[in-house]
Amino acid sequence: MRREGLTVRRLRPLLGTWVEIRATGRAGRVERAVASAFLHLARAQQRMSFHAPDSALSRINLHAHHTPQEVDAWTWDALRKALAMSRASEGCFDITVGARLVASGVLPDHGFATLNASIGSDAVVLMPRRRVALRRPVLLTLDGIAKGYAVDLAIHCLRRAGVEQAVVNAGGDLRAFGAEASVLSIRAEDGAIRPAGLLRNAAVASSALGLSGADQERFPGRVLHPSGHAASDRQPQVWTVRAAQCWRADALTKVAALAAPARRHALVAELGGAIVQAAQHAAQEDAA
């Protein structure tokens, strides 16, 4: 006879938002697994945060144009994935826009002002033994991928611990696994929460474009085109993408937001994602 698992639900402030983990598994084991998953999230934040002056990412930004910097396996893997996405996204995803975000006050200045940093992912060199070099000063930001990557780390931790079912939700960057589907709702640009079907063994993430004032507070991240074109002059819109991994969904929301309209859906699909629409919007389009 199969024993019913224990479901726990925990909430902690991490990754610049509130992270919720809901997990089902054997009593005793599931509590430890959730605690370990939160530890993974905290470590990812410590290593990949632009806001932390002592993070591995800040060390790269300050010193890698002079001396290659050895980094941990997670940061290395996130950089590898981000650079591959940059090459494949037709210019819509670029982790070297940090200088522009610092100049606009979105990201903090940890002594970067003297670097005269440019943009361009061609400046980033991944060397043997997990060393990162910069051909010229650029400021890397992993904000477009790190939260989703951290969610994936938490999910892998829970699965290794034998958890049967779980959802990790980091402020809308969300991944679920298990036999039961989770009801999916997404936030629209007007702040309304709308149903968007079910999520099973997959991930979703959202990014907003063109919001201002109080609306921007619901989506604190800013989408910036690598060309430097302001995104705030576009019609306010929220883009939600589904993918197998949360890091991919996270990155592809920027591609969805910035790709040419005629290319948007196809490009996101080519890169392993699908744009999610709220149920009522999808119904309206089908009826049109």
Q: Using one digit for the tens of pLDDT, what is the confidence trace for 167-182?
A: 999 998 999 999 999 8
For residue 26, give the nearest of 41, 12, 8 by alpha carbon: 8
Task: Count the domains in the chain.
Answer: 3
Residues above pLDDT 90, as percent of the chain: 70
Mean pLDDT on 38-48: 98
At 53-75, the pLDDT tens digits run 999 999 999 999 999 999 999 99
At 200-215, the pLDDT tens digits run 999 999 988 765 555 5
What CATH number is given to the structural domain containing 45?
3.10.520.10
The whole-number pLDDT of residue 18 equals 96
Output phi, psi for 268, to 5 deg. -60, -40
Q: Check pLDDT > 80 for residue 189.
A: no
Residue 55 within a domain: no
Last residue of a domain, which of 153, 171, 189? Answer: 171
- Least confidently predicted of 1-15, 203-217, 264-278: 203-217
At 85-100, the pLDDT tens digits run 999 999 899 999 999 9
Range of the domain at 69: 61-134
Q: Kindly state whether residues 101 and 122 are assigned to the same domain.
A: yes
The whole-number pLDDT of residue 218 equals 54
- The neighbouring-strand residues paired with 242 are 204, 274
Provide the CB-side half-sphere exposure for 106 (13 A, CA): 16
**Other CB atoms within 10 A of residue 227 CB:** 11
Residue 176 within a domain: no
